[in-house]
A and B are shown apart, each in its own frame.
Chain A
Amino acid sequence: GAVVSQHPSWVICKSGTSVKIECRSLDFQATTMFWYRQFPKQSLMLMATSNEGSKATYEQGVEKDKFLINHASLTLSTLTVTSAHPEDSSFYICSASQIVTGELFFGEGSRLTVL
């Protein structure tokens, strides 16, 4: 079946540094990918919709200059957390939709810890 790969699975960084998370659709093309954030014991919250070849659409309350999204190809979207702070520590998950079936596939998730 369709697979979405996310890397890295976990990352620990110092406050003030930037972290890049990659999301790849391995066997299908995804013109649209989604980035979610999940805090402990809470549900997934949509951060932004990543569109190939155009600017991402951010949800209300999500800072676009802090969470940079680049969807450079039909199989890759990246999320960069810039100048990370401890409050950015969270579980970040990407997903991609297979256009034909409408089924949504999730990456494995990336756990970010900012010290």
Chain B
Amino acid sequence: GQNIDQPTEMTATEGAIVQINCTYQTSGFNGLFWYQQHAGEAPTFLSYNVLDGLEEKGRFSSFLSRSKGYSYLLLKELQMKDSASYLCAVTGAGSYQLTFGKGTKLSVIP
């Protein structure tokens, strides 16, 4: 089975940097995804990590450590529109079936 943990809620200030952590325990591992979901909308793809290390994409970066079962999503220069839920999800070995964490609700305040 798969177990994914991430904080339920976080609050950060506009213009600041925030790090959302995700830990996972899986019977097999293929890759880890981060998605952004605004209320009432479908998730939007942010990043996909397969190998250890940091992947940077503009204001968003994602880090993966397979040996530690750990990932984080780093958001820089926070904007009000970044207020959303951020979902960590993993795929098992040889599968594209995603298992989602419960999501972290990020509130960006002025």
Contacts and interface: CB of A to CB of B under 8 A. Distances in A.
B45 A103 contact: yes
B31 A107 contact: no
Contacts of B100: 43-46
A92 B91 CA distance: 20
Contacts of A44: 43, 87, 100
A61 interface: no
Contact of B97 (A46, A106, A107): A46
* B-side interface size class: 20 to 34
A43 B97 CA distance: 15
B98 A95 contact: yes
Contacts, number: 48
Contacts of A67: none
A91 B40 CA distance: 8
Interface in B7-41: 30-31, 33, 40-41
A98 B103 CA distance: 24
Interface on chain A toward B: helix, strand, loop, or mixed SS? strand
B48 A103 contact: yes
B87 A43 contact: yes
Nearest to A96: B96
A18 B107 CA distance: 38
B99 A107 contact: no
21 contacts: A6-B42, A34-B96, A42-B102, A43-B100, A43-B102, A43-B103, A46-B97, A46-B99, A91-B40, A97-B96, A102-B30, A102-B31, A102-B48, A104-B98, A105-B45, A106-B43, A107-B42, A108-B41, A108-B42, A109-B41, A109-B42
Interface of A: 6, 32, 34, 42-46, 49, 91, 93, 95, 97, 102-109, 111
